[in-house]
Structure 1
Amino acid sequence: MRVVVTRPEPSAGRTADRLVNLGHQPILLPLTRALRRPDIAETALKKPHAALALTSAEAARVLSSVDCLSPYLDEVLYAVGEATARAAEEAGFRKIRKGPGTGSELARLVLADAPIFDAPLLYLAGRPRSTSFEEGLRTAKMPLAVAEIYEMAPLPYDRESVREAVLDAPVDAVLLYSRENARLFFELMAPFADALSNAQIICLSDNVAAAVPPEFHRKIKIAAHADENGLLALL
């Protein structure tokens, strides 16, 4: 299968390797790149907080570039799912509480532990992002501090570069990892919608699928688990 990979580098390259090993042909079309702000992360970490929360592996990669991270590596860190937990472990964190894969589920995990907190939870976040994690905590009146430590900036593509990258043969599947990812992809592909006529639109979650235009709804598949294993299982 010819599979479009829309996530940013370096993650896109790792996904491409997995696809090749599964016998598929990856088509790399990263839609964004991370603009990292380790200085904001360092400032936030110095303020009082009870624990840390991450809803993306990119946030863990930003933390790994903070100069003086060692004092925080034994703090409890809530990671949204497997990939984020793995990135946090690679950054050196030792007390990781792993969620099932979505922001709302991570909020429930945090709230189960909330009575032990004596300061706000520090959420090290990106922009744009789903609000489900924050909404879940604020509905329960959980003290929360948010630091935006990176931004996913859209990459510029012209029509010809999209044609060369994607459209030399029919597309069989598209992997979509976030709501913003889906929005950018279909905006970019609007002039070439016919090229997706037989493509499976494989989404990480219901939230991602909500950004898919109505004309593609019958092609949507949603991962049973909100991680890359769940996506690839649908190919």
Structure 2
Amino acid sequence: MRVLVLRPEQTAARTARKLAALGHETVCLPLSKPEHDLDAVKAALAERHSAIAITSAEVARLFGRLGDAIDRHLLTTVFSVGQASADAASAAGFRTVLTPGGDGRDLADMIVAHCRDFGMPAEPILYLAGVPRARSFEARLAEAGIPFRTVEAYRMVPVVPRRTEAEAALLKPVPDAVLFYSGESARAFFTLSPLVEIPERFLSTLMLCMSANVAKAVPQRFAASTVIASSPNEESLLDLL
């Protein structure tokens, strides 16, 4: 299958290797890129906190850019959503990384259960977040009365491909499937010129979505070819191919 990947360049390369191992042809068309706020993360780590929470592997990759500033925090417990984020945090040197799999709500539920078993933390949990993001993780912690502090560690900035780039990726030939990891990338995809001008060319293209929330960004006319992963992780998404 010819599979279109819309992820940022670095993560798209990793996905492309996985797709190649499965025997698929990959076309990469990044529609966003991360901008890290290292100063904000360093300042946040310098303040007292009981644990660190991350809901994106992008934050874990950011740890590798902090140099010595991260060393004295490596014994701090990290609560991480998903195995990819957990693996990246472990690779950065953190000794204790806990993950439930699933999404931000699942991570919050795990933290609630942890606090029920071991007591409420004396210091807030430091949540290193991205922009944009879903608010379910923060809402669940607030609902449970667990102290936390949100610091925006990175921002996903839109990338608008040139028309020639979009046409080469989308029309030469039309992809058999598109992988949507976020609602933002899905919304950006459907504003590309080929989708606006000749949407009927893509009615047989599989629109593969990481979650039901992501699928909400797919226009109704493509509902028949939209498929949602059984779990919100890349392994389940690729299983749809």
TM-score, length-normalised on structure 1?
Answer: 0.96
CA positional deviation for 1:190 = 2.6
CA positional deviation for 1:158 = 2.8
2:129 to 125, 129, 132: 125
Please say if residues 59 and 154 of structure 2, whose CA atoms lie closer than 8 Å, have aligned partners that are also in contact: yes
Matched to 2:43, the amino acid is T
Q: Does 1:160 align with 2:164?
A: yes
3-state SS of 2:79 partner: strand
1:139 to 1:8, Cα distance in 2 relative to 1, 3 A: same
CA positional deviation for 1:157 = 1.6
CA positional deviation for 1:187 = 2.1
Please say if residues 39 and 66 of structure 1, whose CA atoms lie closer than 8 Å, have aligned partners that are also in contact: no
- In 2, Cα distance between equivalents of 1:151 and 1:4: 23
Q: Does 1:205 align with 2:211?
A: yes
Cα shift readout 1:29-80 (whole Å, capped 9, x = no counterpart)? 1111111111110100111111100011001111221131011111110110
CA positional deviation for 1:94 = 0.9
Matched to 1:197, the amino acid is L
- In 1, Cα distance between equivalents of 2:103 and 2:144: 17
194-203 or 120-129, which deviates more? 194-203
Alpha carbon RMSD of aligned pairs, Å? 1.3
Cα shift readout 1:184-231 (whole Å, capped 9, x = no counterpart)? 112223334223211111111111112111111221111112111101
- In 2, Cα distance between equivalents of 1:209 and 1:46: 39
% same residue? 40
Runs of 4+ in 1 over 3 A off after TM superposition: none
Please say if residues 171 and 198 of structure 1, whose CA atoms lie closer than 8 Å, have aligned partners that are also in contact: no
3-12 or 217-226, which deviates more? 217-226
Q: How do 1:164-175 residues align onto structure 2 when only pairs under 5 Å count?
A: 164-175=168-179
Q: Does 1:60 align with 2:60?
A: yes
Structure 2: tracts of 5 or more residues without a match: none
Please say if residues 5 and 12 of structure 1, whose CA atoms lie closer than 8 Å, have aligned partners that are also in contact: yes
Please say if residues 78 and 97 of structure 1, whose CA atoms lie closer than 8 Å, have aligned partners that are also in contact: yes
- In 1, Cα distance between equivalents of 2:207 and 2:113: 35
**What is aligned with 1:89?**
90
Q: How do 1:184-199 residues align onto structure 2 when only pairs under 5 Å count?
A: 184-188=188-192, 189-199=195-205
CA positional deviation for 1:129 = 1.0
**What is aligned with 1:231?**
237
**What is aligned with 1:101?**
102
Q: Does 1:79 align with 2:80?
A: yes
Please say if residues 52 and 128 of structure 2, whose CA atoms lie closer than 8 Å, have aligned partners that are also in contact: yes
- In 2, Cα distance between equivalents of 1:25 and 1:72: 41
1:191 to 1:136, Cα distance in 2 relative to 1, 3 A: farther
TM-score, length-normalised on structure 2?
Answer: 0.93
Structure 1: tracts of 5 or more residues without a match: none
**What is aligned with 1:218?**
224
Q: Does 1:139 align with 2:143?
A: yes
**What is aligned with 1:148?**
152
Cα shift readout 1:115-173 (whole Å, capped 9, x = no counterpart)? 24111111001111111111111222221201111111011223222002221112211
**What is aligned with 2:3?**
3
- In 2, Cα distance between equivalents of 1:4 and 1:195: 15
